[in-house]
Amino acid sequence: MKFLVLGAGGQLGREWKRYLEQEGYEHDAFGSSKVDITDRLSVFEALNENRPDVVVNCAAYTDVDGAEDHWNEARELNIDAVENLANLCSDLNATLVHYSTDYVFPGRAEDADTYPDGYPESLTPDPLNNYGLSKFRGEQKIKQSNADHLIIRAAWLCGQFGSNFVKTMLRLARERDKLTVVNDQKSAPSLARNVVENSIALLESRQRGIYHAASEGLISWYDYACEIMNQAGIDIEVEPVSSDEFPQEARRPAYSKLSIEKLRKVEGARIIGWKEGLRALLADLIDDL
């Protein structure tokens, strides 16, 4: 398989680039300064010149709060550009791998009782904020196209590159005497490296449609912060607080665990516990500790 990665300057895109280089896959990888996915001609030229078998779209509008007041920007990146990309992949017979989010679901606390294993792929999305809505509509555009595709949803994505919760906690622990972290939002993290590995497993086993990629377990952000400090050997007080202590423009889900039962059945997929994933990530981040 020959790959073309778009959005290669971001957290997941850089992880894809590293993985493909390490494993010796033929590939090209472009950040937004090289290929702007909102520019139809730029995307067409990249696909037409490189002729990939698989296009991996890691480009997205990811400012959850910003999407509340800047819907046009979110729509342009997460819906319009995705529709164009899907149509171009269909025209050029390339498989599209696209990433979505747990925020497509309603995130009600009581859903933990209804879906204790996490929201299944078969559940009709019902986003609670504009960011989730834009990602859901992007999914719909792909499904409405004729593109051969994989849509992979992740939650609480953390990796070696870019900005994420793990890196933020490590930085704050160096700057403060105490951390305060919300304890009423729960999910299971998706570790970027594991997401890429499982994306490859899905492709190699010729799976298509929608899959969830996350870790085993269910934790709050507070639980996550405590384990980060524990594994990193940092002695600092971590105080649990409610989301009311951190008012934000966009509503956040109280429960957004993604079911991984469908992924579990895929040959070559590797399901990891969230603590195992964190341990591997901290090993990559050792220079930051």
Q: What is the pLDDT of residues 141-182, one digit of tens each?
A: 999 999 999 999 999 999 999 999 999 999 999 999 999 999
As a whole number, mean pLDDT of residues 55-73 equals 98
Quick check: 288 pLDDT over 90? no
What domain count does the chain have?
1
CATH of residue 148: 3.40.50.720
Is 48 inside any structural domain? yes
When pLDDT is cut at 50, 70 and 90, the band that residue 3 belongs to is very high
As a whole number, mean pLDDT of residues 185-207 equals 98
131 is catalytic: yes
Is 120 inside any structural domain? yes
Name the pTM for this structure.
0.96
As a whole number, mean pLDDT of residues 93-110 equals 98
Q: Which residues contact 264 (CB under 8 A, 6 or more apart)?
A: 271
Is 91 inside any structural domain? yes
The token duo for 208 is 């298509």
Quick check: 186 pLDDT over 70? yes
Quick check: 289 pLDDT over 80? no
Among candidate residues 210, 5, 206, the one with its CA nearest the CA of residue 125: 210
Average model confidence (pLDDT) for the chain? Answer: 96
pLDDT at 257: 98
pLDDT in tens, 208-230: 999 999 999 999 999 999 999 99
pLDDT at 287: 57
Catalytic residue among 19, 119, 131, 222: 131
Quick check: 117 pLDDT over 70? yes
pLDDT at 286: 77
Is 63 inside any structural domain? yes
What is the residue range of 139's domain?
A: 2-164+189-215+257-271
Please tell me the distance from the alpha carbon of residue 82 to that of residue 89, in angstroms, as a whole number: 10
Is 222 inside any structural domain? no
Q: Which residues of 226-244 are buried (b: 16+ CB within 10 A; e: fewer)?
A: bbbbebbeeebebebeeee
Is 284 inside any structural domain? no
As a whole number, mean pLDDT of residues 58-67 equals 97
Among candidate residues 65, 109, 66, the one with its CA nearest the CA of residue 242: 109
As a whole number, mean pLDDT of residues 76-95 equals 97
3-state secondary structure of 16: helix
pLDDT at 83: 98
When pLDDT is cut at 50, 70 and 90, the band that residue 131 belongs to is very high
Is 127 inside any structural domain? yes
Integer Rg of the chain from CA:
18
What percentage of residues in the chain have a pLDDT greater than 90? 98
pLDDT in tens, 232-283: 999 999 999 999 998 999 999 999 999 999 999 999 999 999 999 999 999 9
Is 278 inside any structural domain? no
What percentage of residues in the chain have a pLDDT greater than 70? 99
